[in-house]
A and B are shown apart, each in its own frame.
Chain A
Amino acid sequence: MNEPTLTALLLSLKVASWATLINLVLGTATGYLLARTRFPGLDLIDTLLTLPMVLPPTVLGYYILVLVGRNGPIGAWLEENFGVNLIFSWQGAVLAASVVVFPLVFKPARAAFEAVDGRYEAAARVLGLSETAVFFRVTLPLAWRGILAGVLLAFARAMGEFGATLMVAGSIPGQTQTLSVAVYEAVQAGQDDTATTLVLLTSAVCAAVLLATLALAPGRTSTQEARDAA
């Protein structure tokens, strides 16, 4: 593996890891909120948050550019207060990947929280636990498998993110050129050998993550279901 390839791989791993970490917190919290609150407009919010799953990544990239670009409302605010510009930076790639994979985390998280039997939480409350303790000692452990499956899927998807990343972060070798962007550049430049290496590498990483997801997927090896069936 030559050096540019390694750089692109490490960058992809870095971007995907950050996007996954951000979604682990935000996606799980959103999934919990939507699973436990009832208010009019809930379906609308769920729909809006699910949009990144069906919208073309280029459309998402454009939205991000409009909002976070130098002249966008969020971009101008960041620039003014922190001197930060996310466009054409690896942090911009993290933002793009985070938005794209968000539904992959929050959707399964919501389903996992909704599947937690309320009697377990009631039992914990009667035994004297605070609401925080009920969440961390009962709700989260029982929903964990479903959340983790979504998180791993999100990591694999973030590894392969292309459209939104290219629009927001561009393709600067060594800075924002992730594996998938590098594949595109290699093909454009007629470097078939480089493209082949990159493609095989990307496939191997994604296959490994999917394999892990399969092992954790609820319903297949879930001990919870085995217990219910027993």
Chain B
Amino acid sequence: MQLELAIQKRYEQGGRRFALDIEFGCDTQRLVLLGPSGSGKSLTLKAIAGLMTPDAGRIRLGGRTLFDAARGVALPARARKMGYLFQDYALLPHLTVRQNVAFGVAGSRWFNPSRRVRAPEAERWIEAFGLGALADAYPHTLSGGQRQRAALARALAAKPEALLLDEPFAALDAPLRAHMRAELGELLAQTGIPLILISHDPDDATAFGDTVFTLADGRLARQGAA
């Protein structure tokens, strides 16, 4: 994964100011951005996914220009083909697990995939994550680990060019965290899909950080963990 990123963004709200000014490059398959909350790691991930538009700078990933303020390029999120795992997974509450997983690959402009949908890409990941028995359940009935698997399956079914994970293990208890880390590591090894993970937990950097950057106060503090 070739990632070049240089972005600036200023926020001012209610007298509080925050300035994001990050620049780094990375050519390993797995990248971890480490930092406490408010360090700007979440904004950086959103900028890569196209959910936040920087004021200036550029983002290139795997030879594609996703954003370049100087040239007026800003691919919308839907065209970036990123697999984004939200911190609390953001599974759609009105859809079953199967409909959620098929969400990006089935359905039309007006309608969601039906409860009876069988999209091969979705079924493959439902199978792979052992979600078959839960496929017709609604997200609120799932445990934390099951939700994470369902959200990962949804992201992977859309065949993303990279996985972007926002604090993927923060909501899980310690034994489950270790288990899910191992599971994710296996998945990455099998699929070879590039990973960008943000976390405040140095253990995540140890597990996934081929390259690690530590962020603080909207800036790159250093390469490597603390």
Binary CB contact string for chain A from 105 to 148 against chain B (1 if under 8 A, 0 otherwise): 00000000000010110111111111011001110011000000
Q: Does A54 touch B at the CB level, under 8 Å?
A: no
Chain B residues numbered 73-122 whose CB sits less than 8 Å from any CB in chain A: 76-84, 86, 88, 90, 92-94, 103-104, 107-112
30 A-B residue pairs with CB within 8 Å: A119-B86, A120-B93, A123-B86, A123-B92, A125-B51, A125-B77, A126-B78, A126-B80, A127-B78, A127-B103, A127-B104, A127-B155, A127-B158, A128-B78, A128-B79, A128-B104, A129-B78, A129-B104, A133-B108, A136-B110, A136-B111, A137-B103, A137-B112, A142-B93, A142-B94, A224-B93, A227-B93, A227-B138, A227-B139, A230-B141
Q: Does A189 touch B at the CB level, under 8 Å?
A: no
Determine the distance from Cα of A136 to Cα of B111 in the docked complex, in whole angstroms.
Answer: 7
Q: Does B50 touch A at the CB level, under 8 Å?
A: yes
Residues of B within 8 A of A136 (CB): 109-111
Interface pair B90/A120, CB less than 8 Å apart: yes
Which 3 A-B pairs have CB atoms at the shortest separation, nearest pair first? Answer: A127-B104, A227-B140, A125-B77
Give min CB distance, A118 to chain B, whole Å: 9
Other-chain contact of A126, B50, B94, B138 (Cβ < 8 Å): B50
Closest to B82 in A: A126
Q: Does A226 touch B at the CB level, under 8 Å?
A: yes
Determine the distance from Cα of A123 to Cα of B94 in the docked complex, in whole angstroms.
Answer: 14
Residues of B within 8 A of A126 (CB): 49-51, 77-78, 80, 82-84
Residues of A within 8 A of B58 (CB): none
Assuming the contacts A136-B110, A136-B111, A230-B140, asked whether A125 and B86 have C-beta atoms less than 8 A apart, the reply is: no
Determine the distance from Cα of A36 to Cα of B154 in the docked complex, in whole angstroms.
Answer: 27
Determine the distance from Cα of A227 to Cα of B76 in the docked complex, in whole angstroms.
Answer: 31
Interface class of chain A by DSSP: helix
Closest to A121 in B: B90
Other-chain contact of B81, A128, A129, A132 (Cβ < 8 Å): A128
Interface pair A127/B140, CB less than 8 Å apart: no
The number of residues on chain B lying at the interface, defined by a beta carbon within 8 Å of a beta carbon of chain A, is: 33
Binary CB contact string for chain A from 192 to 230 against chain B (1 if under 8 A, 0 otherwise): 000000000000000000000000000000011011101
Residues of B within 8 A of A130 (CB): 78, 109
A residues touching B (Cβ–Cβ < 8 Å)? Answer: 117, 119-120, 122-130, 132-133, 136-138, 141-142, 223-224, 226-228, 230
B residues touching A (Cβ–Cβ < 8 Å)? Answer: 49-51, 76-84, 86, 88, 90, 92-94, 103-104, 107-112, 138-141, 154-155, 158
Closest to A142 in B: B94
Give min CB distance, A134 to chain B, whole Å: 9
Determine the distance from Cα of A224 to Cα of B92 in the docked complex, in whole angstroms.
Answer: 11
Determine the distance from Cα of A25 to Cα of B19 in the docked complex, in whole angstroms.
Answer: 42
Determine the distance from Cα of A121 to Cα of B29 in the docked complex, in whole angstroms.
Answer: 28
Residues of A within 8 A of B84 (CB): 122-123, 126
Determine the distance from Cα of A224 to Cα of B94 in the docked complex, in whole angstroms.
Answer: 8
Sample of 9 further A-B pairs with CB below 8 A, known A119-B86, A126-B51 = A119-B88, A125-B76, A126-B50, A127-B155, A133-B107, A137-B110, A142-B93, A224-B93, A230-B141
Interface pair A119/B138, CB less than 8 Å apart: no
Residues of A within 8 A of B154 (CB): 127
Interface centre among A125, A223, A224 (most CB of B within 10 A): A125
Determine the distance from Cα of A136 to Cα of B109 in the docked complex, in whole angstroms.
Answer: 8
Assuming the contacts A132-B109, A137-B111, asked whether A123 and B76 have C-beta atoms less than 8 A apart, the reply is: no
Determine the distance from Cα of A137 to Cα of B112 in the docked complex, in whole angstroms.
Answer: 6
Give min CB distance, B138 to chain A, whole Å: 7
Determine the distance from Cα of A138 to Cα of B86 in the docked complex, in whole angstroms.
Answer: 16
Give min CB distance, A36 to chain B, whole Å: 16
Determine the distance from Cα of A136 to Cα of B92 in the docked complex, in whole angstroms.
Answer: 13
Assuming the contacts A126-B82, A132-B109, A136-B109, asked whether A120 and B77 have C-beta atoms less than 8 A apart, the reply is: no
Residues of B within 8 A of A122 (CB): 51, 77, 84, 86, 90
Residues of B within 8 A of A124 (CB): 92, 103
Interface pair B107/A137, CB less than 8 Å apart: yes
Determine the distance from Cα of A132 to Cα of B71 in the docked complex, in whole angstroms.
Answer: 27
